[in-house]
Structure formats: structure tokens, C-alpha cells
Amino acid sequence: MQTRIAPIALALTVALFFLGIADSRAQTQTAGAPKQAAPSATHLPANYRQLIAAYISARDNHVVRDSKITKPYERWGGLLRGGTFTAVCVAVFRDNPFGIVVRDNWVVSYEGGEIKPIAMGMESCSDLSPFPELMKAISARQPSRATR
């Protein structure tokens, strides 16, 4: 019984693999020209940088040394996510428990009026620019230390 199922499973896996490749190529090209942004992709609000800074500062309790952000870009999210969506990647440079500066990559999108995480550390952020909004949000989050 297992010897009959194995070839069928293998054929199904190969077919799904090639369908996925064909689908991703179709998403990136239309008659040899780069694909335009999908009309269904959610556009970010004008204050998206402040929203992302507030989101990350509320969830990251490490000592942050620096942060950088990409411009919004279209990302393929698969059929379950409904195709393409607008994403932003943020690189956060923070201290680890041993005092060594490490980098966390946060990928977020804007859905339903709020910032949603896509992946952490799964993508490499490139074409980065300074992200002072996160440093301001973190300093505002920390309680002021009054002297007695």
C-alpha cells in the first residue's frame, strides 16, 4: 500500500513545486516588464514611521543602540495572505545579554488600521536609512530618573 502512495505523493509534491515557481514568476513579470504594484495592496498612512516606532518600542525591551528603516515595498505574501502587500523592514541594533550588539530585523505591514508583524529575522533589510522615530519612542517610554 505504501509503495503506491509514495509515487503519488512525490508527483503531487513536484507538481506543487513547479506551480509555485510559475506563480511567483507570473507575479514578478508581465510580458517581460516589471509588474506594477497590486491595486489590492494596502498603502501605509502618512505617519507609518511613528506607528511602527510605537509598535516596536512597546514590544522590544532591550537596550537599543541604533535603528534603520527601509522605504515601503511590495512583498509577495502567498495565496493565503491574498497576494502582495506593502511591507517595511526595520533593523534594530541592540545589546544581547552578553553586551554584544546584535541586529534584529522586524518586517511589518499595516492591516486593519494597525501595524502587524510579518517576520522577525527572516529577511535581510537592505537600502536602509536612519530611523530616529524609534529612538525617540524608546526614550519616551523609559521613566525619567528623578534624583532625590
Say if residue 123's pLDDT is above 90: no
Distance CA 52, CA 27 (A): 27
The DSSP bridge partners found for residue 101 are: 95
59-74 pLDDT, tens digit per residue, is 988 899 999 999 999 8
84-111 pLDDT, tens digit per residue, is 889 999 999 999 999 999 999 999 999 8
Confirm if 118 and 75 have CB atoms less than 8 A apart: yes
Backbone angles phi, psi at 146, to 5 degrees: -85, 140
What are the C-alpha distances in Å from 42 to residues 19, 28, 50, 105? Answer: 26, 18, 17, 21
Q: How much is the pLDDT for 3?
A: 60
pLDDT, greater one: 93 or 1: 93
| pTM of the predicted model as reported, rounded to 2 decimal places | 0.66
